[in-house]
Structure 1
Amino acid sequence: MSDVHELSAAQQLRALRAGEVSSRELTEHYLTRIDRLDAELGAFVTVVPELALRDAARADERLARGEWSPLCGLPLGLKDLYSTAGIRTTLGSAALAEHVPTEDAWTVGLLRQAGAVILGKTNTAEFGAACYTENDVTARPAVTPYDPARYASGSSGGAAAAVAAGLLPVAHASDGAGSTRTPAATCHLVGVKPSRGLVSSAPASSFLSAGTEGPVARTVADAALLLDVMAQPWPGDLYGWRSTTSFAGAVTRVPDRPLKVAVWTETGLDAVEAHPESVLAVRRTATLLGELGHEVREIVIPANCDEPVRQALKTLFVFSVGITAPTLVPAERRRLLRPYTRHLVSAGESLSAAGVVTAQSVLARYASTFLAALEGFDIALTPTTNGPPVPLGHYFAHGVEGEADLMLGWSCYTPWVNLTGQPAISVPSHVDGEGLPHGVQLVGGQRQDAELLALAAQLEGAALWADVHPPCWYQ
Structure 2
Amino acid sequence: MSLHDLTATAQLNALRGGEVSSRELTEHYLGRIDRLDAGLGAFITVTPELALEEAIRADKRIAEGEWAPLLGLPIGIKDLYPAAGVRTTFGSAALAGFVPPEDSWTTGLVRRAGAVLVGKTNTAEFGATCYTHNEVTARPAVTPYDLGRYSSGSSGGAATAVAAGLVPLATAGDGAGSTRTPAAACHLVGVKPSRGLVGSPALVSTTVEGPIARTVADAALLLGVMADSHFAYGIRKPLRIAVWTETGLEGPAHPQAIHTVERTADLLRELGHDVREVEIPAVCDEPVRLALRKHFASSVHAAVSTLVPSDDRARLLPYTRYLDAEGAAMPGSEVLAVQEILEHYASKFLAAFEDFDVALTPVTNGPPVPVGHFLAEGVEAVADSMLAWSCYTPWANFTGQPAIALPSHVDEGLPYGVQLVGRPRQDAELLALAAQLEDAALWQDIHPPCWRP
After TM superposition, the score normalised by the length of structure 1 is 0.94
1:44 is matched by which residue type in structure 2? F
**What residue ranges of structure 1 are gaps of 5+ in the alignment?**
233-242
Aligned pair partner of 2:236 in 256, 263, 266: 256
Equivalent position of 1:469 in the other structure? 447
Equivalent position of 2:168 in the other structure? 169
Equivalent position of 1:236 in the other structure? none
Matched, 1:297 2:276: yes
Equivalent position of 2:43 in the other structure? 44
Aligned pair partner of 1:224 in 199, 220, 236: 220
Using the TM superposition, give the Cα deviation of residue 163 of structure 1 relative to its aligned residue in structure 2, in angstroms.
Answer: 0.2
Moved over 4 A (4+): none
After TM superposition, the score normalised by the length of structure 2 is 0.99
Equivalent position of 1:390 in the other structure? 369
* Contact 2:299/2:327 (<8 A) preserved: no
Superposed CA deviations along residues 334-371 of structure 1, whole A, max 9, x for unmatched, are 11100000001111221111110000000000000001
Using the TM superposition, give the Cα deviation of residue 374 of structure 1 relative to its aligned residue in structure 2, in angstroms.
Answer: 2.0
Using the TM superposition, give the Cα deviation of residue 207 of structure 1 relative to its aligned residue in structure 2, in angstroms.
Answer: 1.1
2:207 is matched by which residue type in structure 1? G
Moved more, 320-329 or 147-156: 320-329
* Contact 1:282/1:382 (<8 A) preserved: yes
Matched, 1:356 2:355: no
**Secondary structure of the corresponding residue to residue 76 of structure 2:** strand
**2:331 & 2:372 partners in 1: Cα distance?**
32
**1:321 & 1:288 partners in 2: Cα distance?**
41
* Contact 1:196/1:209 (<8 A) preserved: no
Using the TM superposition, give the Cα deviation of residue 273 of structure 1 relative to its aligned residue in structure 2, in angstroms.
Answer: 1.0
**1:145 & 1:426 partners in 2: Cα distance?**
18
Equivalent position of 1:375 in the other structure? 354
Superposed CA deviations along residues 125-150 of structure 1, whole A, max 9, x for unmatched, are 00000000000000010000000000
Alignment of structure 1 residues 368-447 onto 2, 5 Å? 368-432=347-411, 434-447=412-425
2:141 is matched by which residue type in structure 1? A
Matched, 1:273 2:252: yes
Alignment of structure 1 residues 278-289 onto 2, 5 Å? 278-289=257-268
Question: Percent identical across equivalent pairs?
Answer: 68
**2:423 & 2:325 partners in 1: Cα distance?**
38
**1:207 & 1:443 partners in 2: Cα distance?**
22
**Secondary structure of the corresponding residue to residue 148 of structure 1:** coil
1:338 is matched by which residue type in structure 2? L
* Contact 1:123/1:142 (<8 A) preserved: yes
Matched, 1:183 2:182: yes
Q: How many residues align?
A: 453
Equivalent position of 1:238 in the other structure? none
**1:54 & 1:288 partners in 2: Cα distance?**
46
Using the TM superposition, give the Cα deviation of residue 206 of structure 1 relative to its aligned residue in structure 2, in angstroms.
Answer: 2.6
**Secondary structure of the corresponding residue to residue 42 of structure 1:** coil
Equivalent position of 2:3 in the other structure? 4
* Contact 1:76/1:118 (<8 A) preserved: yes
Aligned pair partner of 2:202 in 200, 206, 211: 206
Alignment of structure 1 residues 126-165 onto 2, 5 Å? 126-165=125-164
**1:314 & 1:396 partners in 2: Cα distance?**
16
Using the TM superposition, give the Cα deviation of residue 293 of structure 1 relative to its aligned residue in structure 2, in angstroms.
Answer: 0.2
2:44 is matched by which residue type in structure 1? V
Using the TM superposition, give the Cα deviation of residue 397 of structure 1 relative to its aligned residue in structure 2, in angstroms.
Answer: 1.3
Superposed CA deviations along residues 190-212 of structure 1, whole A, max 9, x for unmatched, are 000000110004xxx63113110
**What residue ranges of structure 2 are gaps of 5+ in the alignment?**
none
**2:143 & 2:328 partners in 1: Cα distance?**
35
**2:405 & 2:261 partners in 1: Cα distance?**
12
2:116 is matched by which residue type in structure 1? V
Using the TM superposition, give the Cα deviation of residue 290 of structure 1 relative to its aligned residue in structure 2, in angstroms.
Answer: 0.1
**1:429 & 1:165 partners in 2: Cα distance?**
18
Matched, 1:315 2:286: no
Matched, 1:459 2:437: yes
**2:205 & 2:329 partners in 1: Cα distance?**
23
**1:423 & 1:76 partners in 2: Cα distance?**
23
**2:202 & 2:179 partners in 1: Cα distance?**
20
Equivalent position of 2:99 in the other structure? 100
Equivalent position of 1:21 in the other structure? 20
* Contact 2:298/2:328 (<8 A) preserved: no
* Contact 1:177/1:211 (<8 A) preserved: yes
Using the TM superposition, give the Cα deviation of residue 121 of structure 1 relative to its aligned residue in structure 2, in angstroms.
Answer: 0.1
Superposed CA deviations along residues 135-186 of structure 1, whole A, max 9, x for unmatched, are 0000010000000000000000000000000000011000000000000000
2:237 is matched by which residue type in structure 1? R
* Contact 2:357/2:423 (<8 A) preserved: yes
* Contact 2:144/2:164 (<8 A) preserved: yes
**1:141 & 1:283 partners in 2: Cα distance?**
32
1:229 is matched by which residue type in structure 2? V
Using the TM superposition, give the Cα deviation of residue 327 of structure 1 relative to its aligned residue in structure 2, in angstroms.
Answer: 2.3
Matched, 1:111 2:91: no
**1:452 & 1:206 partners in 2: Cα distance?**
23
**2:239 & 2:202 partners in 1: Cα distance?**
33
* Contact 2:172/2:211 (<8 A) preserved: yes
